[in-house]
Structure formats: structure tokens, C-alpha cells
Chain A
Amino acid sequence: MTRVLVPVAVLERESVSPGLISLLGTVDVTLLGYHVLPEQTPPDQARLQFEERATAALEDLSQEFRAAGGDADHRLVFTHDREQTIQRVAGEVGADAFAVSGPTGDVDRLLVSLSGDVDVDRVLSFVERLVGDRDIGVTLFLAAGAGTPDDAAADESERTAPDDADGARLEAAADRLREAGVEATTELAEGGSPFDALIDAAAGHDAIVMAERAPSFRSLVFGDEGERVAAASVGPVIVVRDAESDASAAGTSSEPGE
């Protein structure tokens, strides 16, 4: 079964929008209630004080998810490092994707980004399972020439001459979705930054699905890509995890720390 991790800063009064809850109705959900503490505070100390409140809120939220259709459980983590916690728990529960919460109403159209060196097959099969037999349309998006990841120079030179391979790749993906009974259109962006193009394309869509990419210099400086897209597009983002990060998350326990 497909599982999506939904991190919620539950003690910061963050919640999950009704639109995202119903969108995730076709999949199982693990709610990850987390609370980030400054380094002065031992996590255990915060747990003693806040555990009950946080657990009560998480139970209410998971009930809402169950009411929307899928199975839902919850975990509560006190941490100094949000990113590390999300990666660890996602690996432990075997989540296929994690959600970045954002306000949205009923979802009738998804924007699915295939830009970059991503596992298209994994993203598409996730989208098929997410949409299920519901009447949700999909726009497949590709920033032309962004196929070479994290190499600005290559990006520039290739983007000036968008090659037909990109278009063909996009059409093949759309065909695959249509075969599965999902209404799909395509959008190929040429020139400019792939990030800005994705944000421009986000208008008219209720949520974005994208693939996780290996941490880069850019993500170190500006933060996680999914977060940035969510912040700029003001809607929920679902990040499909890499098959490799699954393996590496499972491997960290045997690997010496750091």
C-alpha cells in the first residue's frame, strides 16, 4: 500500500488543510507530529511538558484522515533537527512520499513536475495511485534542458536549444497516465530558471507533486526544494521520495553516526 508521511508542527498550531486531507484519501498516511527545540532544551524535557497536548491534537487529526478514506497513524518526535527527523521516520515507515502542508480547497488538478534527473516511473506510478479513480486532472510539467541536475552551466547551454527528447519524454509520460485512466495534459517550459517556471505553472493547480532530489549546494543554502516550492506556490507539495533514499535511510542504523 502506498504511504505518505505528513509532517505537522503540531505544537506550533500547524494543521493540515481539508483539501490535502481529502487528496490523500486514497493512500495510507503517517502523521508526523514534530516539535523543534532550541539546543538549550533537552528534547525529553519538552516531552514531559507537551506530550499530552501534542498527542491529543495528533489523534484528532488522524481521525480526520481516516474519515477521508485511507488508514492513518501518528508519531510524535521532539527534535533539534526537523530534516533529519522527517528523513528518519519516512525511512522507518517506508513512506513513498512526504507532504509539505499548505492551504488548499478541493483538489481537481495536480501539477506534476518531472524536471531534472528524477525517477519518472516512480513519480508516475505514485500519481496513478494517488488519483485512483477520482476525477482529478494532471498537468505534467517539464522544464526543458533541466535534465542535467545541479549543473548550472549545462543547464544554460542546453536550455537555449530545447531538444525534442524532452517533449517526447513528456508525451510518453502523459500517455502512460491516460492509459491508467487519468486525464493528463503536458506543459514544456523553455528558458529561464526551472524553479520559476514551475512556480508560474502552479497557478490553476491545487497541489504540486514533485520528486525528491539529492541534496545540492542550493538546497543547503536555501533549504529543501519541496519547502521552497511550497512557500512560493502557497499550496501543498507532495515530494515523492527517491528509491535510493529509502535504502540509505534503512542503512543509517548500521552506519556509524555522522
Chain B
Amino acid sequence: MTDEPSGRNLDGDAPVAEAVVETDEATITEDAELERTIGLTGGLAIGIGTMIGAGIFVFPGLAGGEIGAAASASFAVGGLIALLVALPTSELATAMPRSGGGYYFISRGLGTLAGTVIGLSLWLGLVFATAFYLVGLGYYALDALAQVGVTIGVGTDALVSGIAVVAGVAFTVLNVTGTENAAKLQNAIVALLLSMLVAFLGYGLLEAFGFVAVDTPPGEAVDVWEAVPILSVAALVFTSYLGFAQVATVAGEMKNPGRNLPLAMVGSVLIVTVLYVLTIFIATNVFTRDALLAAGETAMVEVGRALLGPAGALVIIVGGLLATMSSANASILSTSRAIYGVSKDALLPRWASRINLRYGTPHVALGMAGGPVIVLAATGQVQLLAEVASFLHLIMYGLMCVALVAIRRDRPEWYDPDFVVPGGPVVPVLGALASFGLIAFMDRLSIAVGVVVIAVTAGWYFYYARDVSLKGAL
């Protein structure tokens, strides 16, 4: 049917591959079937749940503090880029509805080297993103403590790192041992979050248009409506949009993937873009630039307090805790799936995808996700973590768009997507340009860290899996 994947890695393992039949309800392999159990709601919850934690609860202070109300333009730019990537990703995902997501598409479209680099940097990118969510969680937990009257004498930075590390350990252990319905809990958290946000934003909009009045703190700084700062903030806040491609990592478990995958990916990008832009609009409406800058990572709490008093602050704190938790949890889950995809193709040792007999969970992969997350969370560097995560994801997004163009040109026999991006190569080409272009606006240090990660993953390919060939193999 197609070229078989071939070659062996340093341990002598070959990629696992066999002909399978995909139906709307199951994947049928030679001897077994894999039930598809995640519906559209589940897919949206993964996308929205991963994205919303960072974007709404951590960035308004950082982004608004830098350029004021212009930050809502940054979020709109980020959303547009995410949409340009989400459309090609949807097409690829409906043609290859398998676990592994972006890694899978790139290794099949562009070959093993690109695949290894992306597979491993997707893992590490998710690790950076998770660490960032956990540090955000730390800031919110600290605010929650302050709210109930516990004041802390020691350095707050150390405490935030401490909370982030403890939460990282807790999530990893929970994922290894917890066999209860994590996804159902995730759905409930996302539903609760969305309703809280809609209520909050509704009130904020009433205030913005003068129907209700609140006291806003005085401030002098004006908004910075200039292209370069807006784009550079967009590069920073792009971490807020890293969730939609995670939907593709569970593509193998989505019911009716031809319909649900594009809807979940594009839908979650559109929903969060609207929420982000509104939130920033309200936050910068209530607070000026310097006030936001002073409030920092949890500026949203102050915005909530200004709008609705202590109750507003409480809503935002609870929301922030829930959102950063759901982001961290969803990312740890996606990480273990990313590791599995790479290990199945013999680019990582086979033991990386072993399943624990007692709990039935992939404990090695979860450990490979949780371990580095904890180390990075200990650094407490919000901005750096977010940008490196964005960098690694943007490389993947750009290459996914390139892979789509390449696969369409080669037209392998198996390529039969249910969803086709209209407009020929326009959308993927724009998506690739935008993704790579955004990197140029990042902080030098973040780019350097990202480049080192890419170099290490490429080195791993030449050391471990040089003989493995995956291109064009389904």
C-alpha cells in the first residue's frame, strides 16, 4: 500500500507499523480494535482547557504592562496565526487520525530527521509549557494564600517555585496512579471556567461602555500602538495558543475524526481568541500600563477586585487556579502521548512507552514528562519558559504547514483527508511564514535556548536513529 517504514535504531528496534483501517468508531488493526471514545466536547475541552490557563490568567499583566491596550492586538495576531496553523493541522489530522499529532504529520511528510527533531522538541516544548503553567499556578496559589490572610515572610519567588514543584510532582503522581475519569473532570473544569469568564467579561464590558462605573487607579502611561512592540508581545503571548495542536495528539481516540477534529481545533482557537481579546480589552480598560506592570503575573486578580470587589478577586483566583491546573494536567497527558508516538517509531528506546501493569498507565513516559517539568518549574522563570515553549511549538507549527504542502505535492495513495483547507497552498504558506516570522520577535535568550534544544534533538537523531526511515509511511 505504502512504503513501509524501515531501518533500525541503535538498540536494534524497528518502527512498529502495520496496515490499519480507520472507521468513525474504531481503529481496526489486524488482531485488535481501538475504540474511539472522545467526542467533540472532549476535544474542545482539551483544546480550550490547555490554552485558557496561560492566556487569560497570566499574560494580561505581562502583556498589558508592556504595551497597554495594544496588547489586545497582540492577542488577535496570535489568534490569527493559530488559526492559520489550525486549518492545515486539521487537514493533516483527518488524513492521519493517529496519536502523536504534529510529530506524526511531519515525520511522514518531511522525513525522519525533521520528525525526530519535532517529536523530541514537541516533548520538550510541552515540558517547558507545563513548567510555565505550574509557575503561573504558583503565583495564583500565593495570591489565594494572601487572600485568606496568610502572609509570607520569605522570598515570594522561592515560594512560587516551591508551589510549582510540589504541584508538578502531584500531577505526575496523579497521572501515574489515578485511573479515575481525568477527562470528565477536565470537561467539568473547562465548563466551570468558561461560565465564570463569561460572567466576568460581561460585567467588564458593561463597565467599559460606561453602563456601570468603577474606580480605576490613576496612571499616566499611554498605550503603545506600534507594530514591532505589538508583534513582540504577540510572540510572548503565543504560548496562550499552544493548546489546539494538542487535540491532534488524541486524534487516534476521537470519534468521527473527519468531523470532530477540525471542529475541535478551529473551534477552540476561535473561542479562546475572542475570550483573550475581550479580557485584555477589559483589563487595559480598567488599569493603565504601569498599574498592570506593578501587579505582574496576577494582575487579573486586581482587575477582578477593581470591577467586583473582593468577590471578583476571589472568582479570578479560583479561576486562575483551575485554569493553570487544567493546562498543566492536559499538557502532561499530551506529553506522554508525544513520547509514545516517537518511541513507537523507534526514535526513542522502546521502554519509553511501557505501560505499568498495576495502573495501566504509561509511567515511563509520564515520568519523562514530569521529571524535567519539575526541574524547569523550580527556576520560576515565567517569561523564559513561555517563550521557549512558544519557540519549539512555532517550529513545529511552521513545519506542519510545510509538511502539508509537501504531502499535497507528493499525493501519496493513502492521503485522503476528510477536511481540505480551501484556497490551495495559500493558508499553509501563510501559516508557515507567520510561525517562523513570529520567532524573529522573540527574546534573544529564548531563541538561544530553543536553538540548543533543536540542536540536541538533531544530534540524537544522528546518534540513535540515523537508519530509520519514515517518510511517506502511513
Contact = CB atoms under 8 A, between A and B. Distances in A.
Interface string B149-187: 000000000000000000000000001101111110000
Interface stretch (B227-235, B253-261, B398-406): B253-261
B340 interface: yes
B337 interface: yes
A258 B35 contact: no
Contact of A257 (B34, B252, B256, B336): B256
Interface in A66-88: 75-81, 84-85, 88
Interface string B225-266: 000000000000000000000000010111110011000000
A154 to B, nearest CB: 33
B252 A43 contact: yes
Nearest to A55: B31
Contacts of B27: 44
Nearest to A81: B37
B282 to A, nearest CB: 33
Interface stretch (A23-31, A32-40, A155-163): A32-40
B344 interface: yes
A45 B340 contact: yes
Given A38-B361, A39-B333, A79-B37, A45 B355 contact: yes
A42 B340 contact: yes
Given A41-B362, A77-B26, A88 B355 contact: no
A175 B180 CA distance: 49
B16 A48 contact: yes
Interface residues of B, number: 49
Given A38-B179, A39-B181, A258 B361 contact: no
B35 A77 contact: yes
B32 A77 contact: yes
Contacts of A54: 32
Contact of A75 (B33, B176, B178): B33
B412 interface: no
B360 A38 contact: yes
B259 A256 contact: yes
Interface residues of A, number: 32
Contacts of B34: 43-44, 47, 77-79
A93 interface: no
A257 B36 CA distance: 10
A110 B217 CA distance: 79
Interface in B247-295: 250, 252-256, 259-260
Contacts of A171: none
Residue of A49, A84, A252, A256 with most partner-chain B CB within 10 A? A256
A183 interface: no
A257 B260 contact: yes
A39 B174 CA distance: 12
A71 B23 CA distance: 27
A147 B362 CA distance: 48
A81 B31 CA distance: 19
A51 B31 contact: yes
Given A38-B360, A40-B362, A42-B340, A252 B37 contact: no
Q: Which of B23, B33, B344 has the most CB of A within 10 A?
A: B33
B41 interface: yes
Contacts of B178: 38, 40
A159 to B, nearest CB: 36
Given A40-B336, A41-B355, A45-B340, A88 B24 contact: no
A78 B35 contact: yes
B26 A88 contact: yes
Contacts of B182: 38-40
B367 to A, nearest CB: 12
Nearest to B31: A55
A253 B40 CA distance: 15
Interface string B91-106: 0000000110000000
Interface string B340-356: 10001000000001110
Contacts of A55: 31-32
A33 to B, nearest CB: 8
7 A-B pairs closest in CB distance: A257-B256, A79-B35, A257-B255, A258-B39, A43-B34, A38-B179, A76-B32
29 contacts: A38-B179, A38-B182, A38-B359, A38-B361, A39-B333, A40-B176, A40-B362, A40-B366, A41-B362, A43-B34, A44-B34, A44-B252, A46-B355, A49-B354, A50-B355, A51-B31, A55-B31, A76-B33, A77-B32, A78-B33, A80-B35, A80-B183, A253-B23, A253-B25, A256-B256, A256-B259, A257-B40, A258-B41, A258-B255
Interface of A: 37-51, 54-55, 75-81, 84-85, 88, 252-253, 256-258
Given A44-B34, A80-B253, 19 more contacts: A38-B178, A38-B359, A38-B361, A39-B181, A39-B183, A42-B250, A42-B337, A44-B340, A46-B360, A76-B33, A77-B33, A79-B34, A88-B35, A253-B24, A257-B259, A258-B39, A258-B40, A258-B41, A258-B260
